[in-house]
């Protein structure tokens, strides 16, 4: 499995940098149900954007930056369950000045197989092509 890192100077600063976007690759808008868990809790929410580096989980049940989460989800057009481990790198209360800000967490994939990364890239490229980007 490969470890993926976003260009963050200090992940602990993410809590107060809600409007700052430091990801290396564009995320594409896609709604996918995601089941994830921390050491002591399990959740089922939706992700609204995803790329090969991570995703954003819309939730009011926020966990601190740095928290490790185990995730599993289906990519659109696939019956396979993608399973990975990630780390919360950004927490957003949804009170950001930017329009449409949602409460949730940016999660960076720590472990993602090359095959799964390619699957995500294909989905993201397909969504961008369909949107005419």
Would 11 be classed as within a structural domain?
no
The tens digit of pLDDT for each residue in 39-61 reads 989 999 988 788 888 999 999 99
Beta carbons of 59 and 103 less than 8 angstroms apart: yes
The overall pTM is greater than 0.85: no
The tens digit of pLDDT for each residue in 1-14 reads 333 333 333 333 34
Other CB atoms within 10 A of residue 63 CB: 19
User: For the chain, how long is the longest CA-to-CA vector?
Assistant: 42
* CATH code at position 73: 2.40.10.220
Would 9 be classed as within a structural domain?
no
Task: Identify each DSSP E strand in 52-102 by its residue range.
Answer: 54-58, 68-74, 81-93
Would 14 be classed as within a structural domain?
no
Give whichever of 53-57, 96-100, 118-122, 128-132 has the largest mean pLDDT. 53-57
- pLDDT, position 88: 97
**Buried-exposed string 93-129: b where 16+ CB fall within 10 A, e elsewhere:** eeeeeeeeeebbbbbbbbebeeebbebbeebbeebee
Of 58-62, 69-73, 85-89, 121-125, the range with the lowest mean pLDDT is: 121-125
Q: Is the pLDDT of residue 64 over 90?
A: yes
Would 1 be classed as within a structural domain?
no
């Amino acid at each position: 499995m490969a470890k993926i890192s976003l260009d963050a100077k200090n992940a602990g600063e993410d809590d107060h940098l809600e409007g700052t976007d430091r990801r290396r690759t564009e995320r594409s808008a896609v709604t996918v149900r995601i089941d994830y868990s921390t050491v002591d809790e399990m959740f089922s929410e939706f992700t609204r954007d995803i790329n090969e580096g991570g995703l954003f989980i819309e939730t009011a049940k926020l966990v601190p930056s740095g928290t490790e989460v185990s995730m599993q989800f289906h990519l659109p057009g696939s019956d396979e369950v993608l399973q990975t481990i990630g780390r919360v790198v950004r927490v957003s209360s949804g009170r950001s000045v930017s329009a449409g800000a949602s409460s949730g967490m940016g999660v960076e994939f720590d472990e993602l197989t090359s095959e799964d990364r390619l699957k995500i890239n294909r989905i993201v490229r397909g969504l961008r092509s369909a949107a005419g980007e």
